[in-house]
Amino acid sequence: MAYKIVDTCISCGACESECPVSCISAGDGLYVIDADSCIECGACASVCPVGAPVQD
């Protein structure tokens, strides 16, 4: 089950640099995760200050 970033994202960028497969990028107002590339490791969720990355 891949992760997705919900609208509580504050666009801080903490998750992008933490992703080991570089599947997170800046989107329009919040970051987005490429579900096809996500390895479901949870690294993004562990560093997010607002809990925006959640399992889809």
Chain position carrying tokens 């479901």: 40
Q: Compute the C-alpha angle 49/55/28, nearest 5°.
A: 65
What are the residue ranges spanned by the domains of the chain?
Answer: 3-55
How many of the other CB atoms lie within 10 Å of CB of 48?
20
Interval 2-43: pLDDT, tens: 999 999 999 999 999 999 999 999 999 899 999 999 999 999
Q: What is the pLDDT of residue 19?
A: 98
| DSSP state, residue 11 | -
Which CATH architecture fits 3-55? 2-Layer Sandwich (3.30)
Q: What is the pLDDT of residues 33-46, one digit of tens each?
A: 999 999 999 999 99
